[in-house]
C-alpha cells in the first residue's frame, strides 16, 4: 500500500502527541497497511504500528510497554 503524502502529517502528529520520535513510514507491499516507525525517546528503541491502527494513545502504549520491557531486561541482564 502506498500512502498519499498528505497523510504523512497526520501520522507524524499521532507519533508526537503519543510521545514518540518520528522515524518514517515503511511500505508493506501486498498488504492493506504500511508501518509507522517511531522511537522511544527514553531507550531509542524503534517501534512500529500499522497505519490502520495508529493513534496517539496506541503510540504512547507501545512506548510505555517497550520501556517497561527494556528496563526489566537491563535489570536481569
- Between CA 37 and CA 21 the distance in angstroms is 9
Number of domains in the chain: 1
Evaluate if residue 77 carries a pLDDT over 90. Answer: no
For range 62-71, the mean pLDDT: 94
d(CA 2, CA 10): 15
For the segment 8-65, what is each residue's pLDDT rounded down to a tens digit?
A: 999 999 999 999 999 999 999 999 999 999 999 999 999 999 999 999 999 999 999 9
Q: Where in the sequence is the domain holding 36, given as residue range(s)?
A: 5-76
For residue 71 the three cell numbers come to 528496563
Rounded to two decimals, the pTM is 0.86
Alpha-carbon gap, residue 59 to 65, rounded angstroms: 10
Amino acid at each position: 500500500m502506498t500512502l498519499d503524502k498528505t497523510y504523512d502529517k497526520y501520522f507524524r502528529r499521532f507519533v508526537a502527541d503519543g510521545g514518540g520520535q518520528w522515524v518514517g513510514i515503511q511500505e508493506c507491499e501486498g498488504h492493506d497497511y504500511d508501518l509507522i516507525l517511531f522511537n522511544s525517546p527514553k531507550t531509542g528503541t524503534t517501534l512500529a504500528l500499522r497505519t490502520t491502527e495508529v493513534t496517539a494513545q496506541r503510540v504512547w502504549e507501545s512506548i510505555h510497554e517497550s520501556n517497561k520491557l527494556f528496563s526489566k531486561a537491563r535489570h536481569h541482564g
